[in-house]
Structure 1
Amino acid sequence: MNNRTPFYRNTYRRDDLILRRKKIAASFPDGDVALFVGAPATGAFDVFRQYNDFYYLTGTEVPHSYLLISGDTAECTLFLEPLDSRMERSEGPMLSLEDASAIYQLTGIEHVKPRHSLKAACAHANAVWFPNENQESSQACQDTIRHAFHSKTTDPFDVAVTRQEMVASELGLRQTPKNCLTAQLNSMRLIKDSTEVRWMRRAGELTARAVNLAMKSTKPGMFEFQLGAIADAVFLTGGATRGGYRPIIATGENIWNAHYFRNNTVLSDGELVIMDYAPDLHYYTSDIGRMWPVNGSYSAVQRELYGFIVEYHKLLLDTIAPGLTPEEIHEEARVKALPLIDGWSWSRDVYRQAGIRVAEFTGHCSHTVGMAVHDNGSYFGRPIEPGLVFALDPQMWVPEENLYIRVEDTVVITEDGYLNVTADAVLELDDVEGLMAQVPVF
């Protein structure tokens, strides 16, 4: 035990963690405290993943831990269990109650106390503030959590509550809209600092590498899930812990289901396949969409439709600039697209009408991306600013034929433009065909 070094991922700079916690402390009155409830152990042989908000503020990964932030001094207390020698002999060292000095050096958290003292610490406060009770863990985001809880409400036998609600009840505390930190945390997580952007660049590079290797490897007769396995190998060898969300790898009619996930269909000659999958790297992910022909050559209709959406995607990229609102970006791109639509060689009028609807659609600047693939915070209705990260996801629907065509990249707004972190994923149709003609190297 003399050489014991507890695991710490070291994702963030110490000063950044301190600054984030000070921003939280400044958002509520002196004499109040903020309580953050860490993720529990799952009871499975899996790799533990902390809740995103908790990790964002502490950088620590210990099940059943708690963070208390004081509003008057901004001092913080981490509540942990004592060192479990038996568990550490089995699984390796983990931060515990005995590591207060190391925790302070790594995170700047001033105090480490036993978990049983949490109730008394909360009792001394005038009021206790909470984050959003729907805390994101592995592969989760707010919309998936809301969907899960909606499903629970239709089950008359499921009376489960969130972990945060359970803890608050045990402490004799009540969560209300008046003592909620959701808006503050959303605004903080919406704009990424330089360290976060660095992780997102690396996640984007891994994402693009995985897509390119999957393209090279695609052959008729493969299963969708085999392309996912190739991506997983790229992610894990690149330092990721897992996929950032369940893989969307769809071919043929499966493409119509935007969030298809079963990935159990055989790839057939003449069909397209789409991949939308990114890693969980130091708690940050990316987002992507590329479509390619299973046989290595786009058909005339595939070139017509996917080629158009790629060109429109490039128009959007050329329009993005800090200071513009998403609404202004969509409108400028719409105007730029008019000659593209008029000059495009449409084989059917329903395709041309679909192209017109693409230009009129105002959701191509899509969801934010970060610790969750559908990250927190809204950016519509105001100028975009440096540090904002979102998915650029132009989409085309041809309902008459159940066709859904899209391409997607993750962009970071910078001081003078943007950075496309998934740009290394081959985009141009001729380049895709050229890549697919190469022999994959694993």
Structure 2
Amino acid sequence: MNPTPPITRYAERRERLRQLMLAQTQGKPAVAIIFTAPEVMRNRDADYPYRHDSYFYYLSGFTEPQACLVIRTHAPDGQQHHLFCRAKNEEREIWDGYRFGPDQAQQSFGLDQAHTIETLDQQLPGWLANQQAVFYALGSDIDLDQRVQGWLDQVRQQSRAGVSAPHTLFDVRTLLDEMRLFKDADEIALMQRAADISVAAHRRAMELTRPGLFEYQIEASLLHTFRYHGASAPAYGSIVASGAHACVLHYRNNDACLQAGDLLLIDAGCEFGSYAADITRTFPINGRFSPAQRELYEIVLAAQSAAIAATYPGQPFNAPHDAALEVLISGLLSLGLLQGTVPEILANGAYRQFYMHRTSHWLGMDVHDCGEYRAAATDDQSERPWRALAPGMVLTIEPGLYVRPHPNVPERYWNIGIRIEDDVLVTATGCDVMTAAAPKTVADIESLMQAASTAAALP
């Protein structure tokens, strides 16, 4: 079941954007132009699987390529929300599948009007005439930038006839980023479904893992679970990193043989209804943590628990990171992997030998979702403060430790990479860990893997 938001939800977002545009221009007329993503050729005549632009989809719910959304704050005929899309084409539909076409798209997606994409170049110069501003994602695509510039040039050429061109350009993403940062009930439902499917995939991977398999075989089990339960695709390239590969933050090869005594780090999540999940779990390939692995793992788990406890409304975005960092440093000090005091190490950055990334990022339609991490600075501040967490925001909590061979590090810790990541929704009273069902305590992981091993051994 796909909990698709009602069409009215997209109409509400478009109207909200229109109102924000009016506020930005102090009521003066403006036009927003939002293109979907282009199709991209993989090789010769084969394209990459198509994925629509997130901003475009957020406002339209429309998934076909070759489309553009235009929002007019002032329209003499009251027709403010327009979609340009591909025309119906029986021959192309035989080859490529169903197309809505303008008439059906207008009805199905709640637009004021819909037009064929071929008419865009004819229509836009007239709509841009005598407008105060244009809202457009400048710099996202050089070909589209040139196209928009061409429309503006056509308007400027009419200046002798008393026609004025827009003289202000706003990045429409600035308004949309803030809108998308706060998830509504429909978005949360989609994200929870993505989280549930991803949890099932991680559980299945733990059950299947054993020495002698290859990383790509575990990746295959993830992909199978994603698609079997209705996810459209992985939300990002899955990381299945065993042994020393787990110390490579964005490891992608996924081709090594799993060895007994190593850990396996899996960073993988699916996309469902255009929304992403993002989970990382680390567990022993043979089903039992070694003493050294367990020591480091418990530190990371405690750091994540502290970060989640620091995630609630009013907290600055950086609070979970600060909480995790203090626990990680204290744990590394207790093992003798760092020397000094927590304040000293925070100041000199020595912890970066073992922990070199931040603890959180926004999550939504994109796995590294849009939205500012800092609030606006005041005149007396040297740098912008971290923005406060608020209900409706979704972020990851993902501390880790990555111990590469080093003369100052005991050999028993070498090549151990650990990350534990969950997706967390900020609520009115605290937070909800959307991916909590994926096992992450030592006891739960070993119990699941042992049960799977026993079941596999039964005649």
Q: Which stretch has the larger CA shift, 78-87 or 212-221?
A: 78-87
CA contact (8 A) 1:213 1:230 kept: yes
Asked if 1:35 corresponds to 2:40, the answer is: no
Q: CA deviation at 1:332?
A: 5.3
Q: CA deviation at 1:395?
A: 2.1
Partner of 1:323: 314
Q: CA deviation at 1:323?
A: 1.4
Partner of 1:187: 178
Partner of 1:422: 435
Q: Supply the distance in 1 between the matched residues of 2:209 and 2:138 (Cα, whole angstroms).
A: 42
1:91-170 aligned within 5 A: 91-100=96-105, 103-104=106-107, 106-124=108-126, 125=128, 126=131, 127-131=133-137, 133-134=139-140, 162-170=142-150
CA contact (8 A) 2:293 2:416 kept: no
Q: Supply the distance in 2 between the matched residues of 1:414 and 1:48 (Cα, whole angstroms).
A: 34
CA contact (8 A) 2:70 2:83 kept: yes
1:348-405 deviation per Cα after TM superposition (whole angstroms, max 9, x unaligned): 4116879976699896541111111111112341220011111101122445345443
Partner letter of residue 218 of structure 1?
T
1:341-420 aligned within 5 A: 341=330, 346=334, 348-350=335-337, 364-380=358-374, 381-399=386-404, 400=406, 401=414, 403-420=416-433
Partner of 2:379: none
Q: CA deviation at 1:308?
A: 1.2
Partner of 1:432: 445
Q: Supply the distance in 2 between the matched residues of 1:432 and 1:352 (Cα, whole angstroms).
A: 32
State the secondary structure of the residue aligned to 2:14.
Answer: helix
Partner of 1:288: 279
Q: Supply the distance in 2 between the matched residues of 1:387 and 1:308 (Cα, whole angstroms).
A: 29
Q: Supply the distance in 1 between the matched residues of 2:340 and 2:235 (Cα, whole angstroms).
A: 35
CA contact (8 A) 1:69 1:77 kept: yes
CA contact (8 A) 1:130 1:175 kept: no
State the secondary structure of the residue aligned to 2:451.
Answer: coil
Structure number with larger C-alpha Rg: 2
Partner of 2:16: 23
Asked if 1:50 corresponds to 2:52, the answer is: yes
The root-mean-square deviation of aligned C-alpha atoms, in Å, is 3.1
Partner letter of residue 27 of structure 1?
L
Q: CA deviation at 1:280?
A: 1.3
Of the three residues 79, 83, 87, the one matched with 2:88 is 83
User: Residues 37 and 163 of structure 1: is their aligned pair in 2 closer, same or farther, counting only changes over 3 Å?
Assistant: farther
TM-score normalized with structure 1 length: 0.82
User: Residues 262 and 170 of structure 1: is their aligned pair in 2 closer, same or farther, counting only changes over 3 Å?
Assistant: farther
State the secondary structure of the residue aligned to 1:289.
Answer: strand
1:396-430 deviation per Cα after TM superposition (whole angstroms, max 9, x unaligned): 24453454432111101111111111111101011
Of the three residues 227, 248, 252, the one matched with 1:261 is 252
User: Residues 163 and 293 of structure 1: is their aligned pair in 2 closer, same or farther, counting only changes over 3 Å?
Assistant: farther
User: Residues 176 and 209 of structure 1: is their aligned pair in 2 closer, same or farther, counting only changes over 3 Å?
Assistant: farther
Q: CA deviation at 1:191?
A: 1.0
Q: CA deviation at 1:24?
A: 1.9
Q: Which stretch has the larger CA shift, 30-39 or 242-251?
A: 30-39
Partner of 1:230: 221
Q: CA deviation at 1:26?
A: 2.2
Q: CA deviation at 1:63?
A: 1.4
Q: Which stretch has the larger CA shift, 278-287 or 122-131?
A: 122-131
Of the three residues 6, 19, 30, the one matched with 1:13 is 6
Q: Which stretch has the larger CA shift, 360-369 or 23-32?
A: 360-369
User: Residues 177 and 437 of structure 1: is their aligned pair in 2 closer, same or farther, counting only changes over 3 Å?
Assistant: farther
Q: Supply the distance in 2 between the matched residues of 1:246 and 1:362 (Cα, whole angstroms).
A: 20
State the secondary structure of the residue aligned to 1:367.
Answer: coil
Q: Which stretch has the larger CA shift, 235-244 or 65-74?
A: 65-74
Q: Which stretch has the larger CA shift, 288-297 or 374-383?
A: 374-383
Identity across the alignment (%): 27
Q: Which stretch has the larger CA shift, 401-410 or 358-367?
A: 358-367
TM-score normalized with structure 2 length: 0.79
Q: Give the aligned length.
A: 401
CA contact (8 A) 1:83 1:98 kept: no
1:241-320 aligned within 5 A: 241-320=232-311
CA contact (8 A) 1:397 1:404 kept: yes
1:156-186 deviation per Cα after TM superposition (whole angstroms, max 9, x unaligned): xxxxx54532432454569998321121111
Q: Supply the distance in 2 between the matched residues of 1:26 and 1:285 (Cα, whole angstroms).
A: 28
